[in-house]
Chain A
Amino acid sequence: MLKLIGSRLLQMVFIMGVVSLILFAIFDSDKFKKQIAVAELGGFAVSALSDKDYQAWLDKKGLNTPFYVRYANWVGAVLHGDLGKSFEKNEPVSGLIAERLERTGVLAFWVFALMIPLSLTFGVVAGMKEGSAQDRVTSFISVFTTSLPEIATAIFLTVIFALTLKWLPANAAMVNGWDWRALVLPVLTLVLYDFGYVARMTRASMAEVMSSQYIRTAVLKGLPYRRVILRHALRNALIAPFTIIVLQLNWLLSGVVVVEVFFQYAGFGKLLLDAALFGDVYVIQAATLVAVFVAVLSQIISDVGYTFLNPRIRFA
């Protein structure tokens, strides 16, 4: 088991190394350098600069150093906890990332806090009796909500709750300070999209357990139905959903981009998109590393958790 975790972590570090090198190489192009110069000095100043002055500016910014040297320096700095400085925002990347991650973390926390109980309840209830009315209704709801892309859900919720009923603010830019009400629509959007998927997985797992030999035996033995479900079925039925839920962390990092952009919520996803459009290489690097780290970590937790929880599986 430890060996497995170790090798996965090693793989992750390898992936991060390769990816960041590729990113450095990509953003080393003249096009991106010019883009940064234009953003920093303005189009006029850049076109007025003589080539010598432009090169001097690149030197000053450290952009003239070959990318592999910059890469090596950057790796060294990262190992000391220094992620570099944002070209666009003129501040250290580590602070920026931490602040944005915290905001996205709050969003993610509420998404999970709502989505997990909701989808598990729906899934278990549906899976208890395959083919029943409750099963069909649940299936329909989950296919339906999963079919609404986040952008569409965001629109529907905004039109209903913000524009028509005026219960909630239409955006979550929160310029007047932190506002929980503004968080409702982004959270709901993500929950609605994701809950259907987890509910279906739970349902499938529950249905499988319910049709298994030992549950049938328990029911035949005359144990109370409630007890069978709570004591025996649930424990096994929730193994698969557990791994799925952990993997949703990975999905969430994708989902937050569109939701944060639509609702103008200054979180990690918006930071990543802005940085990519700007060519802010150190921010992109850091954001990508964080994203890869979270994704791989969720994969490892999911695998390890599955092994722990499921006595039938043993890794060689």
Chain B
Amino acid sequence: MTAANIAEVAPSLPLRLQMRRPRPILALILLMWIPLTAYVMFGSNMPETTRNVILLPAIPATLALYYIAVTSWRESPIAVIGATLVFFWLLVAVTAPYLPLIDPNKPIKPFAPIGAYANNHLFLLGADFKGRDMLSRDLWGCQRVLVWGVSATLVAYAIGAFFGLLAGYLGGWWDQAISLICNIFLSFPVMVLFILILNYLGPSGFNIVIAVTFASAPAIMRIVRGLTLDTKSRDYIFAAQTRGEHPLRVMIYELLPNARGPIIVDACLRLGYTTVAITTLTFLGLGLQPPDPDWGLMIKESTKVAMVVSFSYMLIIPALSVSSLILGFNLLADGLREMSLRD
């Protein structure tokens, strides 16, 4: 191959390779995530114009991430299927305001069956008991689950990983104290902990984040602690220590990246659990509050009115949606684990 040829091929190759490096990927994730989170958490307080455009940059970011995910995981079909499911909902979440959907809170024709045309509106997936379009509610519904679910998992991870590193790296007295506190929380069945915390704090998205953190962080701490103990004795850590680096620096720059693999798999699984938890808590009346659409809420509201076959679509549609998202997370975790074992 001549030098000229290399130059021709080069621009396309490095671009893709560059994209796979952590930094651009992180940038893309932030580009997708920050607008979406802002939209869901603070959208009602935003000026109309900001709200209308804020999600625009997230759309190409989501598409690019999906492309990267598929190309880099193409060896595992399971991971690709999982990623496709997850990214489908992510894409719906960021494009929801721009899709030709009717206002999900607008009552039009109660109990309009699937495919009905009533009051100048075609109900592709029927209408709920208040006459709101099910398709619109179902698609909008993914936003809150995704944002609160991922935020809760993230916060739980940040806190769990921090204490795990601390306990594992420093050992001794630190380890004992942190482990004891974690044991206290691990002594609760998760739902009991959720109910106690949310009943005390009151139902809301932010409080779910707190509750999930209390419930998940101890388990995360244990995993990270174990990984830390495992890697601590490696040479490069010892080298860093002898270089006299600050323990915190060693932990974050040396330990954490090397424990990355299992953590990512666990995080995917945990995202699934958190999605289940949020849906369940909302169903129990302890989670997200009406009126904005949310799958758990759609189920909660429909159980009272849809207990006959002809109305059961009101229950089945949100149940299928939430299941598909969780399936996505689980398949992704499975595929990633499979790949990490192969390496």
Contacts and interface: CB of A to CB of B under 8 A. Distances in A.
A287 B200 CA distance: 16
A11 B180 CA distance: 9
Interface stretch (B24-32, B109-117, B121-129, B324-332): B324-332
A287 B280 CA distance: 20
B196 A11 contact: no
A26 interface: yes
Interface string A245-287: 0000011011101100110000001001100110000001001
B315 A155 contact: yes
Interface in B155-196: 180, 183-184, 186-192, 195-196
A119 B309 CA distance: 32
Nearest to A290: B192
Interface in B303-335: 303, 307-309, 312, 315-316, 319-320, 322-323, 326-327, 329-331, 334
A276 B195 contact: yes
B189 A291 contact: yes
Interface centre among A23, A151, A295, A299 (most CB of B within 10 A): A151
B206 interface: no
A217 interface: no
B184 A156 contact: no
A7 to B, nearest CB: 11
Nearest to B281: A258
B276 interface: yes
Interface in A10-47: 11-12, 15, 18-19, 23, 26
A229 interface: no
Contact of B309 (A15, A149, A163, A291): A163
B264 interface: no
Contact of B284 (A139, A148, A257): A257
A60 to B, nearest CB: 25
B183 A11 contact: yes
Given A149-B326, A272-B195, A284-B196, A18 B184 contact: yes
How extensive is the interface on chain A, given as a class?
A: 35 or more
B304 to A, nearest CB: 12
Interface string A295-309: 110010000000000
Contacts of A258: 191, 280, 283-284
A276 B189 contact: no
Given A159-B315, A163-B307, A170-B307, A273 B195 contact: yes
B200 A253 contact: no
Contact of A15 (B184, B191, B196, B330): B184
A147 B334 contact: no
A158 B322 CA distance: 17
Contacts of A176: none
B128 to A, nearest CB: 15
B204 interface: no
Contacts of B275: 149
Contacts of B152: none
Nearest to A170: B307
A236 interface: no
How extensive is the interface on chain B, given as a class?
A: 35 or more
Given A159-B309, A159-B312, A257 B191 contact: yes
Contacts of A251: 189-190
B199 interface: yes
A255 B195 CA distance: 13
B272 interface: yes
Contacts of B285: 277
Contacts of B329: 147
Contacts of A23: 196
B199 A276 contact: yes
A151 to B, nearest CB: 5
Contacts of B330: 143, 146-147
A200 B188 CA distance: 24
A294 B189 CA distance: 9
B151 interface: no
B315 A273 contact: no
Interface in A52-75: none
Contact of B283 (A143, A151, A158): A151
B187 A12 contact: yes
A86 interface: no
Contacts of A146: 330
A292 interface: yes
Interface string B276-301: 10011001110000000000100100
A144 interface: yes
A262 B303 contact: yes
Contacts of B180: 11
A29 B60 CA distance: 50
B193 to A, nearest CB: 9
Contacts of B327: 143-144, 147-148
Interface string A158-196: 110001100000100000000000000000000000000
A288 interface: yes
A147 B184 contact: no
29 contacts: A11-B183, A18-B184, A23-B196, A139-B334, A143-B330, A147-B323, A147-B326, A147-B327, A147-B329, A149-B275, A149-B280, A149-B326, A151-B299, A152-B323, A155-B315, A155-B319, A156-B319, A159-B316, A163-B307, A163-B309, A163-B312, A170-B307, A254-B189, A254-B190, A258-B283, A284-B196, A287-B192, A292-B187, A292-B188
Given A254-B191, A258-B280, 17 more contacts: A15-B184, A143-B330, A146-B330, A147-B326, A149-B275, A149-B279, A149-B280, A151-B280, A152-B320, A159-B315, A163-B308, A250-B189, A261-B283, A277-B199, A277-B285, A291-B192, A299-B187
Interface of B: 180, 183-184, 186-192, 195-196, 199-200, 272, 275-276, 279-280, 283-285, 296, 299, 303, 307-309, 312, 315-316, 319-320, 322-323, 326-327, 329-331, 334
Q: Which 3 A-B pairs have the closest CB atoms?
A: A254-B191, A152-B319, A253-B189
